[in-house]
Structure 1
Amino acid sequence: MSKELRIKSRGREKVHNSLFIIHNSSKSSTTGFTLIELVIAMAILGILIVTTLFFINPIERLAETRNDQRKLNISVILNAIGQNIANHSGTFNCPAGAIPTTTPQIIGSSTYDIYDCLVPEFMSTMPVDPTSGVSSTSSASYNTGYDIARNATTSQITISAPNAELGETITVTR
């Protein structure tokens, strides 16, 4: 027993040879993303971010940048000392006295104070270690965070950065 169902649609007649025609009128067409699609997209994004941070390692890059700044600061101080020596017939002219030869001393207002010997004639400000803050514009209270010493035999001046990071030793000798 076959029942035929004739349906007219847009001027054409269709014949269905089935007992039941299922029409789902509750199905609505929705647009957008499903929850599972959003979860998968967020998981992929999270994996990409973690992988990028792992390979870039921003903490290490910042430490390298601070070490580069230390090297630059030491060179600036040594250049200013060299200019002072050149302007004073080969002798470092400073009220603080000669550069220490026995043990390195920290360049600072309460230790070996060379601020007034170099600023403003040979440099505009006294550079300080990047972890200490901004460059010093006053001789009243400053601490560069850098050590200075002079070799008594060769008269070479060495400035070092004891706060260097990543196990790096930063010293410049001239």
Structure 2
Amino acid sequence: MRTVLQSADISRALTRIAHEILESNKGAEKLVVLGIPTRGVALADRVAQTISSISGTTVASGALDVTMYRDDLDRHPTRAPAPTSIPESGINGVTVVLVDDVLYSGRTIRAALDALGDIGRPRAVRLATLIDRGHRELPIRPDFVGKNLPSASHERINVHVLEYDGEDAVTIEEIGD
């Protein structure tokens, strides 16, 4: 296993993403940041806090569980649903930035779009990911990327965040067949 990003690298990437979101949205108004459990929620909270501190405007954040919207439950039946928490103001008519830790096949994001459609009708949906590793199976492209990290399909990218793992780091490890 090798470490490819350390705490300072992750912090820098999330700060850059926050600035890019602000620029793209032309400010922090009508903006909601939703993380995809598990680690995407912690990253979304950090991005929302950074945007709030830069802009001086409070940006709502929450969590969007996509478990029951996935098309691979037959291959991964042990997924436990996580709570979905949408800000009280809802998502209708606002720009929603979905945040995930690693973008791989695109299937999680497809599920997230389906889940969002059941909750409300955002004005726009943007995607931010800490790691884009390629290997897309669906035509999904992130708007904001912390680091492009091309990797082989026999490798696993692990994102560790302080809130869940006690440290911030991104590692790559070989996995068996």
TM-score, normalisation: structure 1: 0.26
More strand as a share of residues: 2
Specify the structure having the higher radius of gyration (Cα). Answer: 1
Larger relative contact order (Cα-Cα within 8 Å, sequence gap ≥ 6): 2
